[in-house]
Structure 1
Amino acid sequence: MIVCEPFDEEYVRLLLDGSEDEVKEGIELIHHHLRFGICGWLRERFPGLQSADLEEVWADVITGILEAKDFDPEQPLLPFLRAIAFRRATDRLRRQDARDRLVDAVGGFLRNTKIGGTWSELNQLERCEVMELIRKAISQLPNRQKLVMDVFVGDFPETASMPELQRLVSERAGKPETLAAVKRALQEARAKVRKLLVDKGYNFGKQGEL
């Protein structure tokens, strides 16, 4: 049980270097005394983090303490905790940014389809289902098509420009790729992704192209 006593950093550092029960006690003390301060520090550096995100990042910090291989009980505790918090917040925002780009990309290459017409109206669960199906389809593509689709999704909306897509694909491949080859790979990949979605019950209509 945690009592309201002053935070003894040296004692906590020793706990974190001790037995499983001692580590648990140390984490409880950190949670009780340092959580709000570190979360406030994170909010200043990552204003895009919402309250719910901060809660999840803090849970990640606790996990990071348990997984840390470089903890030194002779070193100050706060820089160690802030380093973990910074990495975890950065990772979370990176994943969030990737999800946002994927949503934009899906909306982009569902344009001119029946489902594309109502993409903005789909609820979160429906969007997640479509995106998971698209991820699955991309993972099963031949190497060239997979590369093109990975770049298209990962760098959307810049890759809505075919010359930019060609440049980025060439950069990723480590060799020049012609615009015609990139366009063809994208068209073939889209057709395969579209087929998977149709097979799963998404109706695109006769004129729709993925």
Structure 2
Amino acid sequence: MRIVIAEDSTILRQGLVELLTFRGHEVVAAVKDAEALREAVTGHTPDVSIVDIRMPPSHTDEGLRAAIALRRELPGCAVLLFSQYVETKYAAQLLADRAGGVGYLLKDRVAEVSDFLDALRRVADGETVLDPEVVSQLFSATRRTDALGGLTPREREVLGLMAEGRSNSAIAAELFLSPGSVEKYVTSIFGKLGLPPSEGDNRRVLAVLRYLES
């Protein structure tokens, strides 16, 4: 993969460059601020960008705002947020364009390099990947909303695993259910959230977005 890295910590930025290069990927740019990120992605059109949320000058949301702008300007621009913080409204904004190719991982919770690389590949392939802690806090922030009020506890659990990018078979294994039971839960979730079958929309992504937007 061709990758752009946007991280203001010199040590972490260089560490990512060395790790990804060692694993056979090409880091086309490694920058330390949001403006340089936008220039790098526009100039190099990478397969995926790894972006820290908080970067200079204010260290608040520069990385996120740059990521959102890039995804609006460049359809198909894949972005993996790699942050120390869970920012629920930021995740909602990043997913608001209803497209895949986006991820949100927490730096302190990535225990295995292989897990990080797998998430990066999945985002580059157009999937949505969210850290379970991000998903948990997203649900906590919106658990009283009417949009999800009709879901059963089990359906909420299934939707949470869907938000992590799990397939039906993976959800079945996690919850010790049959694949057929998971399919019934997923179908019920779609129905309760008002998501009819559509050739143009990915209902799994839309189900997560409906929760985030509620």
TM-score (norm: length of structure 1): 0.29
Rg larger in 1 or in 2? 1
Q: Which has the higher helix share?
A: 1
So what's the TM-score if we normalise by structure 2?
0.29
- Greater relative contact order: 1 or 2 (C-alpha under 8 angstroms, separation 6 or more)? 1
